[in-house]
């Protein structure tokens, strides 16, 4: 299980234990939502896509994988609002 807490940390849960695997650089996401720190991951995704076109290769993350990630996020939102487990695929 992964727990990403409001740009503060990323924890990985295994069994009964949690391990902090990433702590991003701090920024004020409420007062500076366009901070370069916040936008850097998004910039990287777009740049990788552009590079794949320029280098005539497939992107490192396929469109199908991206769609799967969106489906998981949608299932999480539905699960939270409905208070139940959501089966995949949607």
Residues of the chain predicted below pLDDT 70:
none
pLDDT at residue 6, as a whole number: 73
User: How confident is the model at residue 40, as a pLDDT?
Assistant: 82
pTM to 2 decimals? 0.60
Q: Which residues in the chain belong to E strands, given as ranges?
A: 2-5, 9-14, 17-22
Strand partners, 87: none
List CB contacts of 11: < 8 A, sequence separation 6 or more: 2, 3, 4, 5, 18, 19, 20, 21
Two structure tokens written together for 8: 């503060």
């Amino acid at each position: 299980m992964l727990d990403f807490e409001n740009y503060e940390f990323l924890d990985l849960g295994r069994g009964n234990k949690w391990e902090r695997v990433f702590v991003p650089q701090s920024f004020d996401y409420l007062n500076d939502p366009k901070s370069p720190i916040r936008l850097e991951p998004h910039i990287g995704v777009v740049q990788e896509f552009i590079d794949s076109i320029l280098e005539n290769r497939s992107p490192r993350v396929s469109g199908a994988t991206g769609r799967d990630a969106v489906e998981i996020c949608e299932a999480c939102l539905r699960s939270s609002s409905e208070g139940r487990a959501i089966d995949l695929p949607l």
